[in-house]
Amino acid sequence: MKQAQILWINPIAPEPDRIAYAAALLRAGKPVAFPTETVYGLGANALDAAAVERVFAAKNRPASDPLIVHIAADEQLELIAAEIPAEAQALTRVFWPGPLTLILPKTDAIPLNVTAGLNSVAVRRPANEIALALITACGFPIAAPSANLFARPSPTTAEHVMEDLGERIELIIDGGPTLIGVESTVVDMTARPPTILRPGGTSLEALQAILPSIEIAHRYVGPQQAQPSPGLLSKHYAPHALVELFNETAVVERMRQRAIVLIAAGKQVGVMITQEDRACFDDLPVHIEALGSRNDLAQVARALFAAMRRLDHLGVDVILAKSLGSSGIGLAIQDRLIRAAGGQVTVNIELLESP
Ligand code: TXA
Ligand code: MG
C-alpha cells in the first residue's frame, strides 16, 4: 500500500467538505486515523464487523483486546448499550464529552469482534470537534483503539500515526497535537462497585466526587503500595528501550548513579525528568527529555508519549524515569510509566544503604 494521505482539518472549526471526505472512506469500510482530546484513534464503523476487523489487522492488535466505541449523541448510547444505570448517567452528565470511557452491557447492534466476545461494550463521547463532526457525518458510532502499532506508545500527533501505520492505512486526519496526551479513564460500570480498569485523562478524585463508591482495580495501585507481580501489568505502552522507573527517596541522585554505571557499560541512556531536575544531569552524556514542570502534570502528560518516541529514535538502550506521584493526572502518568517499565519499579537498595 502506498503511504497514507495526511489531511489537515481545523480542530476548532472542522471544514465540512474535509470531514465528508473522511466519512466516505469510513462508510466504505476503510480505517481512518483521527484526533481525539486524548490520543489519536484508528476508526471504523462500530456496527460493521468487517470494517472493525481491518482495524485489528492494521494495528497487529490481538483479537482478545476489545475496542472503545466513540459516539456523538445520546441516541447512539441507547443503540449500543442495553442498560444505562443511574450511576453511569450521573458520570456522563458531568464528564462527557471528555476522557472517560464507560463499560456497559452491550446490545446486539455491536458485533462481537468489537468487544472481543464480551457481553459489555466500552463507550465514550470524545471532547474533540473533529472526532464529533466525523461521527456525526458518518451517522454511525466509530470503534477506535489508539492509532499506534500494538505495544508502541500511543500517538499524540499525526506524525506518530504516520510512523506506525503510514504503510497500513489510507488516511490520517491531522488536527494538531492532542490536548491531554494520555488515554481516557476506563470505568467498568458492570462491576459492583464501579471499578477503574485504566487510569487516564479523568482523575480518580474527580470521579470520586460524583461516585464516592468507585474503586480502582488492584493491578493499577501505585508503586508505593504492595508490588503487583510484573505479569499482571501487560507491557502495553512499551518503547524499544528498557525503562527503569525511580521513586521513593533520593531519586535524582540514584538516577545519576545508575546513569553513570550504564554509561560506563557502554549504554546509551535517556532520562525523563521534570524541568526542575534537568540541570542535575547536565554534566552527564545522557539524552534528556524534560517533560515540563512538576507543578503542571497536565503538561507532563501531554509530553510523555512523544518523549518516549524521541528517545527510541535516538536509539537509547535504557530510559531512566522519575515517578511523579499519583494525584490527579499523575496516576495516569505513573500507570503509563510502570507499564513501560514492564511493572518493575527500581529501588536500588545497595545505593540506599551506602553511606
Ligand atoms: O483515550 C482513549 O481511550 C483512546 C482514544 C482513541 O479514544 N482509545 C484507546 O483505546 O485508548 P485502546 O483500544 O488503546 O484502549 C481501550 C481499552 C483497553 O484497555 C481495553 O482492554 C479496554 O479499553 N476495554 C474495551 N472494551 C472493554 C470491555 N468491554 N471490558 C473491559 N475493558 C474494555
Ligand atoms: Mg491503546
- Residue 238: pLDDT band (50, 70, 90) is low
- Residue 23 grid coordinates: 466519512
Report d(CA 222, CA 331) in Å as an integer. 8
SS3 316: coil
DSSP E strand boundaries for 236-311: 242-246, 269-273, 287-290
Region of 222 please: left (phi>0), alpha (psi -120 to 50) or beta.
beta
Q: Ligand nearest 156 Cα, by number?
A: 1
Give the distance, in angstroms, between the CA of residue 180 and the centroid of all CA atoms in the same chain: 10
185-207 pLDDT per residue, tens: 999 999 999 999 999 999 999 99
102-119 pLDDT per residue, tens: 999 999 999 999 999 999
- Which of 36, 69, 71, 101 most suits a substitution to test ligand 1, by most atoms within 8 Å of the C-beta? 101
How many A from CA of 274 to the centre of ligand 1?
28
How many A from CA of 336 to the centre of ligand 2?
11
How many A from CA of 261 to the centre of ligand 1?
39
User: Which string of DSSP letters, residue by residue, matches 63-108?
Assistant: TTSPPEEE-SSHHHHHHHBS---HHHHHHHHHH-SSSEEEEEEB-T
Average pLDDT of the chain, as a whole number: 91
**Closest atom of ligand 1 to CA, residue 182:** 1
pLDDT at 227: 38
How many A from CA of 61 to the centre of ligand 2?
9
**Exposed/middle/buried for residue 16 (C-beta within 10 Å: 0-12, 13-18, 19+):** exposed
pLDDT at 338: 85
Range of lowest pLDDT (43-52, 53-62, 250-259): 250-259
pLDDT at 142: 99
Is the overall model pTM greater than 0.85, yes or no?
yes
Q: Are the C-beta atoms of residues 128 and 35 closer than 8 Å to each other?
A: yes
Percent of the chain with pLDDT over 70: 90
- Residue 308 carries which DSSP code? H
Q: Is the pLDDT of residue 333 over 80?
A: yes
- Residue 339: pLDDT band (50, 70, 90) is confident
Range of lowest pLDDT (22-36, 44-58, 111-125, 331-345): 331-345
pLDDT at 251: 87
Average pLDDT rounded to a whole number, residues 223-228: 38
Q: Which amino acid is at 64?
A: S
- Which of 55, 67, 71, 339 most suits a substitution to test ligand 1, by most atoms within 8 Å of the C-beta? 67
Q: Which amino acid is at 108?
A: D
Q: Which residues contact 279 (CB under 8 A, 6 or more apart)?
A: none
Q: Are the C-beta atoms of residues 272 and 242 closer than 8 Å to each other?
A: no
